[in-house]
Every structure is written in C-alpha cells, then in structure tokens.
Amino acid sequence: MLYSMTAFATSPILLTGMSGAGLSTAARVLEDKGFYVAHNLPPELMVQLFDLCADDNSPVDKVAVVADVRSRMFGGSILSAMDELKNRNMPVTVLFMDARDDVLIRRFDSVRRTHPLQEKDTLQVGIERERAAISALKERADVIIDSSNLSVHDLRRAMEASFGSTGLDKQHVTVESFGFKHGAPRDADLVLDVRFLPNPYWVPELREYRGTDGPVADYVLASPAAHSFIANFEKMLDSMLDGYRHEGKNFITVAIGCTGGHHRSVAISEELARRLRIRDELEVTIMHRDFERS
C-alpha cells in the first residue's frame, strides 16, 4: 500500500529517546497540538496504526507514536518499521529526546525509580545499556532535543518551536538564542557566536532591556558587522539547504550565542528569523533559551 501524503496534515511523528529525558512531557505537548498519540506500541503495530490513520475515512490527520524502552522489548525493529513506512511513501519524522547521564541519574533519584534496563546493576549501567541499544535510532533522528538544561516550560517551548506549524513540503528552521555562560545547546546543527559585536550590557540605559526591545535591537543592528554577519550566514545557509534536503534533513536548528543570552544573540536571532520567514520554502520559528535567566 502506498500512502497518500494528503491523508495527513503533517508528517507522522515517532517520539523516542532516553528514559527520563522528557518523553512524557513531549507527548503531552503533541496531544495539545491535536496529535493522536499512541504509547508503547510494538514496532509491528506502528505500521498498522499508520495504515489506519492514512485511510480516507480516518478521523485522525495528525498522529504520533511514543516508542520508549518498553516498546523495544517486543520483537521487530523500529528501524525496519521506519524503512517499511519510507518505502510506502510515508516517512516518519523522528523526534529523539536526550539528556546527559548525570541529569538522568538525578531525575531517577528524585522520583525514587529504577531504570527499566538497570536490573540488579547500578543506575549508570542501565543508562549505558539504553544508550547502546538506541544509538542507531538517534543517528536517524530528524530532531534531537537535549533536555539537560531545560525546565518543563522550556521543553514545551522547544517542542512548539519545532512542531508548532510544520508542513510536509517545507524545511523547518528553528533559530535559537542562548548565552554561552549557560552552555551551548547540545542539539543545535549550527552554532554561531556573536560575542564580537558591541555589547549593550555595558550601556547603562540599555542593560535592563532585552534584544526584543527596540532600543537594544537598534543598538545591535546599527553595527555594520551585524549586517555583514547576517548576510554572510544567509549565503552559507543557502548553500546548505539543498544538501540538507537531499539527505532527508528537514529540521535545522541554528543556535546564536552571546555571553548571557539577553541582548546580542536575541537581536540577531530576531533579525535572522525575520529575513528567513520571507522565503516560501521555509517554516521558521524562534526561541530564546536564556531570555529570562539572570
């Protein structure tokens, strides 16, 4: 059976990743976005579910499957199911949730749970087993969200940035500002450093504003270096988009950093997103990771 792409409002989503990395929160966000979300389906049933949802009479036009460690206990391979769907003209969008080992350990400890693959060993061993088991799946992911430094609300914003209004025929670009003092995003495809630009922080009357405010944006964008930087990056991105599409990568995250993530990175991200939104072939969203951090 070949699927009709018009049977779905957006590409079906496979939500997977590390236990404790935010799968439940991500699933709730998708449900709030109108997705029918099926949890812990064996791989064999995943294809059957998409068959049902692709039917012209199906009441579902947006569907997501959560495949956590319990799903992988059943026979069959998630990768094989993905290949079968691709051969039927219905490739799934793979969202992979990840987090650092120390963060996962802290989260499991806080809720007094054992890892599903821990058995009689340590929590660290269980996490290492799961990483090894799903490494190939992570390599096939379209979107990787690292929740190590994200609150529940930050994770929701990251999800909405990636899946808020994505169409089937467009490349999705997320422009994310951040502060290097809080660490660079581990899930970004491209990381840009704008700390070479004049810093509004050192202008007393601008310090308490943010890059979304007119005075700060005007100050940052008044620098000739800011405009040449954005123009040069646009040219570079143009040279990459066709290659990304050819490789099947339709979700691209561009992270732009300054020192604190309040001024320069925010202003540059806003201007870059504004320019990219003009293009019909792109779906552009923006998020400011460290906007409210001190």
Q: Is 205 left (phi over 0), alpha (psi -120 to 50) or beta?
A: alpha
Is pTM beyond 0.75 here?
no
pLDDT in tens, 37-50: 998 888 888 888 88
Pick the more confident residue, 261 or 114.
261
Mean pLDDT, range 231-255, rounded to an integer: 88
pLDDT in tens, 147-174: 998 888 788 888 877 776 555 467 889 9
Residue 70 assigned as binding residue: yes
- Starting at the edge strand found earlier in the chain, the sheet holding 282-288 runs 190-193, 251-258, 171-179, 282-288
Question: What percent of the chain is modeled with pLDDT above 90?
Answer: 50
Pick the more confident residue, 73 or 278.
278
pLDDT in tens, 212-234: 999 999 999 999 999 999 999 99
Pick the more confident residue, 93 or 267.
267
Residue 281 burial (CB count, 10 A): 9
Residue 24 assigned as binding residue: no
Burial of 138 (0-12, 13-18, 19+ CB in 10 A): middle
Question: What percent of the chain is modeled with pLDDT above 70?
Answer: 93
pLDDT at 51 over 90: no
Residue 68 assigned as binding residue: yes
Closest by CA to 86, choosing from 172, 14, 167, is 14
Decide: 193 and 180 in contact? Cβ < 8 Å. yes
- Bridge partners for 143 per DSSP: 95
Residue 1's pLDDT is: 47
Record the tokens describing residue 87, joined without a space.
Answer: 């051969």
Residue 4 assigned as binding residue: no
